Amino acid sequence: MAHYDARTQVSWTQVATRISSVRVARVTGNGSPRRQYLGPLTSFLRASLKKSLLWRIALTTYLAGLALVGFWPVPVDKPIQNRLATVLNYLHEVGVPRWVNYQFVEASANVAMFIPLGVLVAMALPTRPWWLLFGIGLLASFFMELGQLLFIAARFASLTDIVTNALGGLIGICCVRLITAWTRTAKLADS
């Protein structure tokens, strides 16, 4: 039976703080394990922002994926259009407002598709101003729509798509910038 000692009782926040503070377990020369304290989680996040090469590789990969989706010869939602219409009709029957329609779903998908782009751009270029990062997302959307207009007869270019894509990119950028600001504030509070 385990022995309970009231002196060893700690709160869950203390446990979480200790777990999030210990980052690396190393082995010393004599073979015994030793924990190395690398600071709180906020320091870890800030250090990961400095590894922009990995973020740039991820950004390039994501842009290639966006190009594949954007320049696919037929609309990417064509295989599920009938199912989507059925689901939307059912939702309307059970009380979901009529404004939740195909255009709403498409616009939401465009926003969602560009949120990761905004995150990756902000992580890959952490020292650039937000408006420049927003411009990168806006240009990516613009060139996707321009390519659809000029080269793909089955696809339809739309100004609405450019706006919703850019909005998604902006949301991703804002998320990264807010988390970064939060980590800085937390570091100042720790000091």
pTM beyond 0.75: the answer is no
Tokens standing for residue 38: 């690398």
Tokens standing for residue 185: 């504030």
Structure confidence at residue 132 as a pLDDT band (50, 70, 90):
very high
- Taking alpha carbons only, the member of 150, 151, 154, 121 closest to residue 138 is 121
What are the pLDDT digits (tens) for 96-129?
Answer: 999 999 999 999 999 999 999 999 999 999 889 9
User: What is residue 24's three-state secondary structure?
Assistant: strand
Q: What number is the average pLDDT over the span 179-189?
A: 84
Tokens standing for residue 70: 């954007």
Domain limits, the chain: 6-40, 43-190
Other CB atoms closer than 10 Å to residue 186's CB: what's the count? 16
Residue 2 has φ and ψ, to the nearest 5°, of -75, 145
Q: Where are the beta strands (DSSP E) in the chain?
A: 22-27, 33-37
What are the pLDDT digits (tens) for 51-93?
Answer: 778 899 999 999 999 999 989 888 888 888 889 899 999 999 9
